[in-house]
Structure 1
Amino acid sequence: MKARKGDLSIEVFTTCPATLTDSHGVERPGFYREGGSFYRDRVIEATRWTESCGFDGMLVYIDNSLVNNWSVAQIVMEHSEGLTPLIATQPVYMHPYWVAKSIATFAHLYGRRIALNMLAGAFRNDLIALGDPTPHDRRYDRMTEFTQILQQLLDGSGKSVTYEGEFYQIQNLKVQPSINKDMAPVVLMSGSSEAGLATARTLDAVAVRYPEPVSFYEEQPLEEGIDYGIRMGIVARDSNEEAWELAEGRFQEDRRGQVAHQMAMKATDSKWHKDLTAIRQEELTDAFPYWLTPFHNYKTFCPYLVGDFDRISSIVARYINVGFRTFITDIPLTLEELECQQKVLEMALEKATA
């Protein structure tokens, strides 16, 4: 979208479907079809919607249960003219050279850059299955080394890189064919914990938050000198009643989902996950359209803003005013949903002050 008002601009990503779902967000059978898969069709459809609404890119995330997101990112590239895949990258899965080589390959095949959403963590059970017992803050140390190697290999100089770190050591390594500096990836990462913020500062990365209500940031300003992003769902329509009817129809309370959320809480050491879980929904709904029911019922991993266009755009404008410049919205189920998000974000930028 790269929406701009004077010197004020925001960058907007949506999120790629991770599984095959129906119009209500319920996973359904029929993953394969003759000559391909219904999931691939869903990715292509979401890609075309995202580009038609003028968004800048699409987050493609990963965990042990999902298909390889680098392959999915290639589908996004193949079926768009200018979208930037924001590829979740977990250092425990691969060597930084493989990532650098893949980024250079994308640049040479498509003449476009990609963005990286660097992951320090994951579900602890996923990490244990991979034989990785590294504590939370130490994973950020590893991610720092991993990303520094990437940045040096892709700085456009074409020079060999030697790096002597605690987690990685390379000698006279370079990516061939090399790429121009303007093809180097934009780096985003979780910025909820102190370790995450320190790493974002070191890497000059966008620190992404799963936001608390905007009043929290108005009372406790974001640290200066760091670029901030935010991930949230948005359901907005002409009337408050219509928006809530759609939202509650899509995300219903589910005992099985609540149990899954409780189990995930026991299996994670992510600060943002614990912070969101600690917020009591009943203390928010009447005063602020900040909705955590989908999160608490294990339907998605971010809070939602629900209401009419004017109200929701005013709240998003407040997030812009406190310093958030990158927005990542949740998985879209329909083109209309993305069009409504586009309207909210454009209205918010008009309301925001530089």
Structure 2
Amino acid sequence: MNDLVASGVTLYSICRSSVGHDEQQHLRRLREIAGWVEDAGYRGALIYSDNTSIDPLMAAHAAIANTDSFVPLVAIQPIDLSPFALARAVSSLAHLYGRRIDINFVSGGFSRDLAAQGDTASHDARYGRLTEYATVVRELLTGGMVNFAGEYYNFRRARLSAPVPPDLFPTSYVSGSSPACLRAGEELGVTQLSFPLPPQEHVGPDAPKSRFGRGISVGIIAREDSAEAWRIAHQRFPADPEGATRMKLLISAGTSSWQPQLASVSLPDQAPGQTYWLVPFRYHHTFCPYLVGDYDEVAQALTTYLNGGIRTFVLDIPTEPEDLWSARIAIERAVAAMDAAGSRPHATAGMDDNT
């Protein structure tokens, strides 16, 4: 993993949501996946946030208490808690455990969740609120006296009693693919996380770029043999017409721009030589596209993403530890190809300098 870090590449996975699982089963699975991620040398894993899941900060606490170096990447929606409450939670974990959490700032979510909490803000207004929110959180975490007068938040002489030590300051991201998200990331100076279109659409002069880097959430099934990778892929993610109907309903009721973007991609479910695979998304198995093939085939697609400025990879929920190890092999080959071409990716500035 050190070579990846030196080249500016960061790897996370994703912890399974608590939806549909009893508390003991979910806790065991959370600990298990966090252990897999730590053993494979990833930085950490994303913990989702929505109205149907358990509190993501509580889940992060449980993961930290059962690992040595795992970093939770916690999805934070401003309507769920105040900036001061988030900053205090980050500070508390740092002081209780000497550990950090990373933050994925999200502005939207399911429309039913927003309505349940009385949030009627427009898409772009939510990113304006998110920008203020993240700004206040950063200022609180640095330990200074915060005086802030914005459209959405007002603080006067606010201060944490225990600021976060500099070496435990969170790496932060903003989630989305819209122009409003890009503007928020630029203003905050943080990496933008989104779901990827086919690799070739991330290169070229017209592809969206951020001065502070971009990341993608994607699934990877890579094995030594391409046929074996595809066997696993088809077994896990069959083309289910009922799933396709559920996904269409979800998109019609959604508030995000990335879901319609992925749905509009016209690639067939299967084609010779096609590594980028939308079946898991189209049939409502998961929310991201997949890269499937042998190590070199997947590495070639990943190299294209690297050429397009992608530096952070958030990999879909692993079914077994081999998913994480094999994905890492493909990513390492992609980075090696960049090095051989003399265009090694470099780390980018963010909300903090501890990326």
**TM-score of the pair, normalised by structure 2:** 0.91
Superposed counterparts of 1:280-299, under 5 Å: 280-282=266-268, 285-299=271-285
1:186 and 2:171 correspond: yes
Alpha-carbon displacement from aligned partner over 1:113-170 (angstroms, at most 9, x marks no partner): 2110001100111101111111100000000111000011012xx3221111111111
Which residue number in structure 2 is paired with residue 274 of structure 1?
260
Alpha-carbon displacement from aligned partner over 1:297-337 (angstroms, at most 9, x marks no partner): 11111100001111101211221122111110000010111
SS of equivalent to 1:312? helix
Distance between the aligned counterparts of 1:283 and 1:177, measured in 2? 52
Distance between the aligned counterparts of 1:182 and 1:45, measured in 2? 27
1:328 and 2:314 correspond: yes
1:86 to 67, 73, 84: 73
SS of equivalent to 2:284? coil
Alpha-carbon displacement from aligned partner over 1:271-293 (angstroms, at most 9, x marks no partner): 11110010123187335311111
In structure 1, give the amino acid aligned to 2:4.
R
Which residue number in structure 2 is paired with residue 244 of structure 1?
230
* Residue segments in structure 2 that go unaligned for 5+ positions in a row: 345-355
Which residue number in structure 2 is paired with residue 4 of structure 1?
4
1:145 to 107, 132, 141: 132
How many pairs are equivalent? 339
In structure 2, give the amino acid aligned to 1:57.
G
Superposed counterparts of 1:5-154, under 5 Å: 8-19=7-18, 31=22, 37-154=24-141
SS of equivalent to 1:281? coil
In structure 2, give the amino acid aligned to 1:16.
C
1:167 to 152, 156, 162: 152
RMSD value over aligned CA atoms? 1.7
SS of equivalent to 2:86? helix
Contact 1:222 1:323 in 2 (8 A): no
* Offset, 1:182: 3.1
In structure 2, give the amino acid aligned to 1:255.
P
In terms of mean alpha carbon deviation, does 80-89 or 336-345 score higher? 336-345
Contact 1:3 1:11 in 2 (8 A): no
Distance between the aligned counterparts of 1:2 and 1:153, measured in 2? 31
Distance between the aligned counterparts of 1:187 and 1:120, measured in 2? 14
* Offset, 1:202: 0.4
Query: Aligned pair in 2 of structure 1 residues 208, 129: CA closer, same or farther (>3 Å)?
Result: same
SS of equivalent to 2:293? strand
Contact 2:209 2:309 in 1 (8 A): no
* Offset, 1:2: 4.9
* Offset, 1:269: 2.4
SS of equivalent to 2:197? coil
* Residue segments in structure 1 that go unaligned for 5+ positions in a row: 21-26
1:207 and 2:207 correspond: no
Contact 2:223 2:295 in 1 (8 A): yes
* Offset, 1:260: 1.5
Distance between the aligned counterparts of 1:141 and 1:302, measured in 2? 26
**TM-score of the pair, normalised by structure 1:** 0.91
Superposed counterparts of 1:225-240, under 5 Å: 225-240=211-226
Which residue number in structure 2 is paired with residue 263 of structure 1?
249
Contact 1:2 1:55 in 2 (8 A): no
SS of equivalent to 2:4? strand
* Offset, 1:9: 2.6
* Offset, 1:84: 1.1
SS of equivalent to 2:51? coil
Which residue number in structure 1 is paired with residue 349 of structure 2?
none
Distance between the aligned counterparts of 1:2 and 1:285, measured in 2? 36
